[in-house]
């Protein structure tokens, strides 16, 4: 093998969405025979990632946020000949022929093809959502806005207009919904049932719905609201509309609400909507003490697993998830392999709600957690690209996804981060989520395992051991198959727990014992 060289190719003023970039990078890897390929928009955050991983050249430094950077490390520069010309073909949209498989390129064209459609899913750059969203509402369509980086003013305007017209506006930054059994965006293949969910959390819907499925229950509808819906400014417009729709839905017997704690005024307004309801309601406001919910007679769940279990019980089923055998023995065996200097946790998450739940569980255990999902200014990460002490990072945050694929689609940034954490001699545990379902990476475990193996090699060569733990958010009916993904991870030495909450408590136990050994 020759000397490895890194090259950056810049395509000026060429914006591509994350799915196109992911598919393009895979195609380029196949064409030139290297795994070291990154396609990223030239934002400062993306250049920081390329810089820290050694993939940014002086030419790439000059890229603007609207430019595409193709970063390649290769052993033979001749393989790059003509690549710049081929890139345009690789990333170009395919030509569309108007046949029975015709894919319309405008809202008007879509309505012409599907005149009975009543919902539009918008996934475009955030600055264009205002115009397209208004058009859809004017045509009588409910909205699911997948786009992020949408202004607060646009969100409020669209939701108020939707409310006036009796139309749901789910989002912006709404990653998951399930309507009449149809999985929208990042959602899982869960069975139909009598449990309805309204959530200001995409992976919150995914975790609760998949756990309900695993426990034998099913979902009537799962309505995503977008993360800002329960803020004082937005006022919970979509949450309240979603609750009202499920309260009148004959196929929904149990309601589950999932979110970070709402603004107090919004929380009060939600309870007013729920006043006097006969259907069981489970409240899962992650990080809340639940006092207000319980005072008003509602069941309060501390974790998403608890919410799923309570919903199953309320719907007449019996909640059960399998336990890992010989847990104490496993923990002692793993800790014995650590070197004296290893003492910190690094959590690398693709799901923000899963990351936040883990933070809450670990803080409840007495740990101090640095994170980009905490509101505590003393522990808010000043630099999301650098871990400090015990750290949990939501890598689906805008800082990582602006101009680049979401980690549920493409794990490139997470793979680099795994290797960087392994290089830190104080890292003891690396904790991850693996999220399955429509829209997610077709083989997330398979994509992560080479980085896990490389991280182990780095640690072993330095006389250290790394503990890897994870949970798989998904079901066997998903395209990726949860059982197969779990087996791949376990075969690679990753300890896989049956829920995010259990993975969090497992790691909390490990960290507590590590601390006791170091005292």
Determine the Cα–Cα distance for residues 501 and 12; give it in Å rounded to an integer.
Answer: 44
Domain housing 211: 107-314
Looking at residue 39, its pLDDT comes to: 83
> Which pair of tokens denotes residue 276?
């006097």
Same domain, 396 and 462: yes
At residue 96, the pLDDT reads: 41
Which residues are paired to 119 by β-bridges?
142
- Residues recorded for the chain: 519
- Same domain for 146 and 29? no
338 and 308 together in one domain = no
Domain co-membership, 199 together with 225: yes
Identify the domain boundary among 285, 314, 343. Answer: 314
d(CA 58, CA 50): 11
Residue 436 belongs to a domain: yes
The answer to whether the pTM exceeds 0.75 is yes
- In terms of DSSP H, where are the helices of 215-326? 237-247, 264-274, 291-295, 304-314
Residue at 98 is within a domain: no
Residue at 394 is within a domain: yes
Domain endpoint, select from 274, 291, 314: 314
Q: In terms of domains, do 152 and 65 share one?
A: no
Rounded distance between C-alpha atoms, residue 42 and residue 36, angstroms: 18
pLDDT at 95: 43
Q: What are phi and psi of 184, to 5 degrees?
A: -110, 130
How far apart CA 398 and CA 424 sit, in angstroms, is 25
Residue 199's DSSP bridge partners are 224, 258
Same domain, 440 and 475: yes
Backbone phi and psi for residue 307, each to the nearest 5 degrees, phi listed first: -60, -45
Q: Structure tokens of 40?
A: 């990223």
The CATH number of the domain holding residue 31 is 3.30.70
Same domain membership, residue 426 and residue 305: no
Number of domains in the chain: 3
Give me the pLDDT at residue 97, please.
42
Q: Count each helix (H run) and each strand (E run) in the chain, helices first.
A: 19, 19
Q: Sign (positive/negative) of CA torsion 323, 365, 418, 500?
A: positive
With respect to residue 173, please indicate whether it lies within any of the assigned structural domains: yes
Single out the residue in 39, 63, 91 at which a domain terminates.
91
Does 198 reside within a domain? yes
Q: Distance (Å, rounded) from C-alpha 264 to C-alpha 124? A: 32
The reply to whether 146 and 45 lie within a common domain is: no
Is residue 111 included in any domain, yes or no?
A: yes
Q: Are residues 373 and 332 in the same domain?
A: yes
181 within domain boundaries: yes
CATH number at residue 271: 3.40.50.261
DSSP class of residue 65? T
DSSP letters along 78-139, please?
GGGTTHHHHHHHHHSPPP---STT---SSHHHHHHH-TT--EEEE-S-GGGHHHHHHHHHHT
* 227 shares a domain with 372: no
In-domain check, residue 322: no
* pLDDT tens over the chain, length 519 residues: 457 788 888 888 776 666 667 777 777 877 777 767 888 888 777 787 788 777 888 888 888 877 888 888 887 777 777 777 777 677 765 444 444 556 677 888 888 888 888 999 998 888 889 999 999 999 999 999 998 889 999 999 999 999 999 999 999 989 899 998 889 989 999 999 999 999 999 999 999 999 999 999 999 999 999 999 999 999 999 999 999 999 999 999 999 999 999 999 999 999 999 999 999 999 999 999 999 999 998 999 999 999 999 999 999 999 988 887 788 899 999 999 999 999 999 999 999 999 999 999 999 999 999 999 999 999 999 999 999 999 999 998 878 877 677 889 889 899 999 999 999 999 999 999 999 999 899 999 999 999 999 999 999 999 999 999 999 999 999 999 999 999 999 999 999 999 999 999 999 999 999 888 655
Residue 467 structure tokens? 């503990």
CA 186 to CA 434: how far, in whole Å? 13
One domain, residues 360 and 498: yes
The first and second tokens of residue 508, run together, are: 């909390």
Domain shared by 416 and 281, yes or no: no
* Amino acid 76: pLDDT: 79
List the 281-285 sheet strands across, edge first: 182-185, 176-179, 219-224, 192-199, 254-259, 281-285, 299-300
Helix 412-423 to helix 444-461 angle (10° resolution) is 20
């Amino acid at each position: 093998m020759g000397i490895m060289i890194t090259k950056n190719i810049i395509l000026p003023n060429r914006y591509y969405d994350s799915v196109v970039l992911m598919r393009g990078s895979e195609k380029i890897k196949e064409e030139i025979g290297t795994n070291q390929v990154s396609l990223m928009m030239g934002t400062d955050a993306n250049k920081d990632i390329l810089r820290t991983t050694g993939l940014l050249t002086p030419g790439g430094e000059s890229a603007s946020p609207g430019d595409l950077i193709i970063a390649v490390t290769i052993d033979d520069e001749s393989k790059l000949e003509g690549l710049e010309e081929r890139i345009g073909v690789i990333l170009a949209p395919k030509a569309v022929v108007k046949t029975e498989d015709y894919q319309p390129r405008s809202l008007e064209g879509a309505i012409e093809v599907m005149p009975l459609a009543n919902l539009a899913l918008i996934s475009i750059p955030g600055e264009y959502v205002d115009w397209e969203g208004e058009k859809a509402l004017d045509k009588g369509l409910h909205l699911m806005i997948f786009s992020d980086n949408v202004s607060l003013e646009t969100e409020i305007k669209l939701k108020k207009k939707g409310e006036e017209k009796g139309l749901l506006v789910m989002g912006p930054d709404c990653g998951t919904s399930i309507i009449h059994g149809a999985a929208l965006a990042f959602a899982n293949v869960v069975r139909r049932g009598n449990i309805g969910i309204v959530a200001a959390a995409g992976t919150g819907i995914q975790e609760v719905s998949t756990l309900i499925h695993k426990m034998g229950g099913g979902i009537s509808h799962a309505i995503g609201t977008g993360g800002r819906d329960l803020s004082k400014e937005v006022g919970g417009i979509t949450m309240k509309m979603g609750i009202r729709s499920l309260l009148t839905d004959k196929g929904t017997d149990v309601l589950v609400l999932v979110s970070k704690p709402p603004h107090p005024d919004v929380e009060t307004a939600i309870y007013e909507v729920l006043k006097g309801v006969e259907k069981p309601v489970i409240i899962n406001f992650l990080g809340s003490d639940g006092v207000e919910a319980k005072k008003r007679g509602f069941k309060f769940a501390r974790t998403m697993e608890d919410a799923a279990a309570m919903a199953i019980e309320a719907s007449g089923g019996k909640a059960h998830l399998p336990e890992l055998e010989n847990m104490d023995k496993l923990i002692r065996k793993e800790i014995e392999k650590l070197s004296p200097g290893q003492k910190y946790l690094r959590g690398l998450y693709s799901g923000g709600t899963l990351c936040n739940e883990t933070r809450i569980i670990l803080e409840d255990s007495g740990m101090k957690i640095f994170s980009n999902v905490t509101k505590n200014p003393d522990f808010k990460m000043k630099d999301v690209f650098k871990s400090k002490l015990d750290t949990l990072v939501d890598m689906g945050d805008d800082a990582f996804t602006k101009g680049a694929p979401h980690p549920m689609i493409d794990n490139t940034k997470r793979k680099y981060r795994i290797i960087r954490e392994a290089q830190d001699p104080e890292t003891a545990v690396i904790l991850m989520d693996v999220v399955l379902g429509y829209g997610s990476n077709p083989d997330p475990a398979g994509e992560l395992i080479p980085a896990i193996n490389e991280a182990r090699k780095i640690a072993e060569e330095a006389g250290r051991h790394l503990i890897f733990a994870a949970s798989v958010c998904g079901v066997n009916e998903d395209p990726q198959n949860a059982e197969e993904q779990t087996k791949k991870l376990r075969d690679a030495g990753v300890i896989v727990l049956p829920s995010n909450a259990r993975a969090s408590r497992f790691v909390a136990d490990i960290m507590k014992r590590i601390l006791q050994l170091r005292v």
